[in-house]
Amino acid sequence: MTTTIDLPAAIRAELDSPFTLSDEQKQHFREDGFIKLKEFFSPGLLAFFDEAVTAKTFELNPLKGTAMKDRDTYGQAFIQVSNLWPRDEVVKQLAFSRRAAQTAAELVDASGVRMWHDQALYKEPAGGFTPWHVDQYYWPMSHGKSVTLWMPFTAVPIDMGPLCFGKGSHRKYIARDIAISDESEKLITEEVRKHEITEVFEPYDLGEVSFHYGWTLHRAGGNTTNEARRVFTVIYMDEDMRLIEPRNENHEADWKAWTPSTKVGEVMADELNPVLYTTRG
């Protein structure tokens, strides 16, 4: 049973206050498939939630006790823990940020957004690269208004493994039927060159976040620093998103994991998919 957390007033105010997006920024996002936003969250807020997210991530770490050399490419890329919000009330406050959810809704031009799920993605020191992939391959969603917030708790220099985006790749039908793997890295690398897609690979400042569509190609480099790349993500979907008939085993798995009570054709309104922001009454 969860309890209500009384956050410091300044933290609560920042979580709930809107972030002003320009029409130009919205347009860039829809054309490029991603956007990076500086000073989205303050250093104080990030430090506050870093402790809670990091503690829960390492508590639930599915790779605990497995040496890096004994993992496959995906396991070397990062520690991945999903849906922390139902298991930690402090983390829930961050995952449910109205500021972030409203930004996601405005970027994809939706009346509101629901939670799909959150994730901690921690790239350990000596952690390997993250192969090229598209997220929505895994999600049984009826259309493309899905968006991921990628929020590091620290600055992320190039040698720590920030995201690299394929600019405009969400408008091309590339690798939509392949899971993240060594194969996806090879195939998408070839397609990026073939289609002359610009790769945007830049560091993140402290407080800078990014949003990207579910169909945007992205990857990340390895972490050659002595500090873990500590990132929290939230995946949002249009509040009217419907469940499609699964097309692969990953669709089946994500259906059972993230929206188990929803039937094919229905809006994904499971208790795990609360509306986090809406302009409706």
Instruction: Provide the percentage of residues in the chain whose pLDDT is more than 70.
Output: 99
- Amino acid 164: pLDDT: 98
Least trusted range by pLDDT, from 72-76, 123-127, 235-239: 72-76
Given a contact cutoff of 8 angstroms between Cβ atoms, the answer to whether 203 and 156 are in contact is yes
Q: Nearest to residue 153, comparing CAs of 80, 209, 95? A: 209
**pLDDT per residue as tens digits for the range 174-224:** 989 999 999 999 999 999 999 999 999 999 999 999 999 999 999 999 999
Q: Where are the alpha helices (DSSP H) in the chain?
A: 9-16, 23-32, 43-59, 73-77, 89-95, 98-108, 182-194, 249-258
Angle made by CA atoms 76, 249, 62, in degrees to the nearest 5? 30
Residue 253 above 50 pLDDT? Answer: yes
CB-based burial, 259-279: b 16+ in 10 Å, e otherwise: beebeeeebbbbebbeebbee
What span, in angstroms and rounded, lies between the C-alpha atoms of 84 and 168? 31
Percentage helix, strand, coil, to 5, in the chain? 35, 25, 40
Q: Which domains does the chain have, with CATH numbers?
A: 23-274 (2.60.120.620)
Predicted local confidence at residue 127, as pLDDT: 93
Is the pLDDT confidence value at 36 over 50?
yes
The model's pTM: 0.95
